[in-house]
Amino acid sequence: MWADRINRAARRVPVWALWLTGLAPAVWFFYLGMTGGLGAEPIKALEQELGKVALQLLVAGLAVTPLRRYLGLNVLRFRRAIGLLAFTYVCLHLAVWLFLDVQDAARIRADIVKRPFVTVGFTALMLMIPLAATSNDLSLRRLGPRWRRLHRLVYPVAVLGAVHFIWLSKGFQFEPLIYLAVILGLLALRLSPGKVLARSVR
């Protein structure tokens, strides 16, 4: 079966390879920014590209359970790395905004309070911090069942990330709406109490 072949191939891929692949876009975008490859507003473009990759990684993390449940694809061993990569890109997105774009502490505080898209994005970051801090085996053992409840914060984080993208976009654009629709669809699949269609993967 095709799912078994994919699962066997995935088991041979080391997690560090996912980290290298996942960080490659950041290196590439920074290179483009320094060499004029991001257009007339490289800082804004760099912010947007890093934020978009963060959102894509959040989508990928949410897709892990539905892929296993409905298609029999087991990539669970990569979920922690995907989540930490998403947090890394959110931090890079924030760092570019703080240190390259705004560069004004007073304006940063004002934007967080007064500009809805900044408020939403900052809230998503705050919710991600405890997830990143507890993405280790020691926290899993110490928190027990509470660990799973805590990590459900990824659901509002993903929705807030999509809303941040929608508000950040100028005019009516389909792309951020598509992200929101995909996230809501994945959440519906994850939370659905219906019959599990896929067989368990050994």
d(CA 196, CA 191): 11
pLDDT tens by residue, 45-84: 999 999 999 999 999 999 999 999 999 999 999 999 999 9
Reported pTM: 0.91
Domain-wise residue ranges, the chain:
2-191
107-142 burial code (b ≥16 CB/10 A, e <16): ebeebeeeeeebbbbbbbbeebeebeebbeeeeeee
Give the pLDDT band of residue 109 (cuts 50, 70, 90).
confident
Average pLDDT estimate for 82-101: 96
pLDDT tens by residue, 1-44: 788 889 999 899 999 999 999 999 999 999 999 999 999 999 99
Own/partner pairs, 184-188, CB within 8 angstroms, 24+ separation:
184/159, 186/59, 186/62, 186/63, 186/66, 187/62, 187/155, 187/158, 187/159
Q: How far is CA 197 from CA 3, 95, 188, 190, in A?
A: 14, 42, 15, 13
d(CA 199, CA 82): 24
pLDDT tens by residue, 120-179: 999 999 999 999 999 999 999 999 999 999 999 999 999 999 999 999 887 778 999 999
d(CA 120, CA 58): 16
Query: Where does the chain have alpha helices with state H?
Result: 2-11, 15-34, 42-66, 79-95, 105-114, 116-133, 137-143, 145-150, 154-168, 174-191
